[in-house]
Structure 1
Amino acid sequence: MEKTVTPPWLEAMLKTKFLTHCSKHREMPRNECNMFCADCFENYSSFCIYCRSQNHSNHHVIQIRRSSYHEVVRVSEVEGLIDVKGVHTYVINSANVFFLNERPQPRGVGAAAGKAAASPYFCEVCSRSLLNDFRFCSIGCKLARIKSNGDATFVVHERDRSSESSRVEGDNSRKSSNLGEHPDGSSAANDAKPTSPQRRSRRRKGIPQRSPLFS
């Protein structure tokens, strides 16, 4: 079932190890392997920006980022390649992102744990608390659901490709903006610097003067 509803490169990307140093460009700066090619996925390997310019200049390349030790991908980089409906979005550095795989449930007595306990929404696969009414906490959990019963899909039909981009951006941006939480579980309100309250400008009282006397 998953063969018809899941692009073959997607599962390879979810199993790939990212953000290691490139063995081919050891002496170069910024040599982290944070790229994945949807056209050359058979070798299950990530690569750096130098490998991209040499071997993948005309391919579908996806950049992987990290937030709190977990890999994320920007919505704008995958929404035209896979159907992302139902996957929870988060905001990091003003960009909408997806987590690639399942993460541990927040524990303790902090703000993140409190929000998780109070939320009525849960991932259908790993039961992680969600802050909005999405079905899955990550792309990996959606894939697991597809494999178990096939009631979802990653395939974007050509006729839906243009409308999907605008729909997902609007829908996910609206829900993500209401999250008030970054991918690491910290409150966005804690990161925002409060603005100084504006003081009322009071007109300085001058020295009272008597009106001139006329004879």
Structure 2
Amino acid sequence: MLDNSHLLPGWLAALLTEKFFSACIAHEDARKNEKNIFCLDCCVAICPHCLTPHRSHRLLQVRRYIYHDVLRLKDAEKLMDCVSVQSYISNSEKVVFLNQRPITRPCRGSAKLCIICDRAVQESFLFCSISCKLQHMMKTGVKLSDHICNRDSLVLPEPGLGDDLLTPETVLEPTVSISAGSASSVSGGECRILASTATTETVKKKRSTLSAPPVRSASQPAFSKVLPAAAVMNRRKNRPHRSPLQ
């Protein structure tokens, strides 16, 4: 739990204390109803089905890594200073943990530890999570406004500009209509069938090429004349054909 959370801006304190990935009560019977989106304007976690009333708000997607809440580093950097916070790679994206994680076993050797929670971090980092850095800044009397973005200063771009943090269109995967999805699946099936047919024809051609006897011109000597006499004599004979008994 983050100490002195009352010193933080309301939206940031709510982000760090919110319980994400729990089922949305308003849509408990719907599929994919986990609350994985944070509305910066309303300071509340919502699920994908709650997007309609928040469509014009500033939204932030929270992800899951090793069973803990994370933000993409490029999203978090738009909200606060993330320098010296340990980052990890998840789905080819750099992510940072929102809160410190419980330590299940002591660190071995001379590993570098987080200043706040004694969790092992890489040599170039000082903190294992955003909350640890915030705690350190509050303990050392650092002016938070110099490291935390003012929520009201975040400019909401026009829809469709593709900003990962501020446009709700980029929070979720783009929706595809049933007809488009069906056409895509049919097209993909046709491509697979054509590819399979082409592969079969190629294999047939290769087999026919290997099994066909070599073409011999009229001027080329017969096979028996090309081989040495010893090789011709050592060739295995075919199965003998005997005349029927009288």
The TM-score bracket by the shorter chain reads 0.5 to 0.7
Aligned to 1:36, the other structure's residue is in SS state strand
d(CA) in 2 for partners of 1:26 and 1:156? Answer: 34
Higher relative contact order (CA 8 A, sep 6+): 1
Q: Residue 56 in 1 paired to residue 49 in 2?
A: no
Alpha-carbon deviation of 1:120? 4.1
- Unaligned 5+ segments in structure 1 are 108-112, 162-208, 211-215
Where does residue 123 of structure 2 map in the other structure?
Answer: 132
- Identical-residue share of aligned pairs (%): 37
Query: Size of the alignment, in residue pairs?
Result: 147
Alpha-carbon deviation of 1:18? 0.8
Alpha-carbon deviation of 1:6? 4.8
Where does residue 181 of structure 2 map in the other structure?
Answer: none
Alpha-carbon deviation of 1:95? 0.8
Alpha-carbon deviation of 1:119? 5.1
- Unaligned 5+ segments in structure 2 are 155-225, 228-246
Where does residue 36 of structure 1 map in the other structure?
Answer: 38
Aligned to 2:108, the other structure's residue is in SS state helix
d(CA) in 1 for partners of 2:75 and 2:29? Answer: 29
Relative to structure 1, is the Cα distance of residues 119 and 152 closer, same or farther in structure 2, using a 3 angstrom cutoff? Answer: farther
Where does residue 148 of structure 2 map in the other structure?
Answer: 155
Q: Which runs of 4+ in 1 moved over 6 A?
A: none
With structure 1 as the length reference, what TM-score do the two structures score? 0.60
Match of residue 143, structure 1, among 110, 134, 137:
134
Structure 1 segment 103-142 matched on structure 2, within 5 A: 103-105=101-103, 107=105, 116-118=107-109, 120-142=111-133
Relative to structure 1, is the Cα distance of residues 156 and 26 closer, same or farther in structure 2, using a 3 angstrom cutoff? Answer: closer
Q: Output the aligned Cα RMSD.
A: 2.8
Match of residue 97, structure 1, among 86, 95, 98:
95
Alpha-carbon deviation of 1:137? 0.5
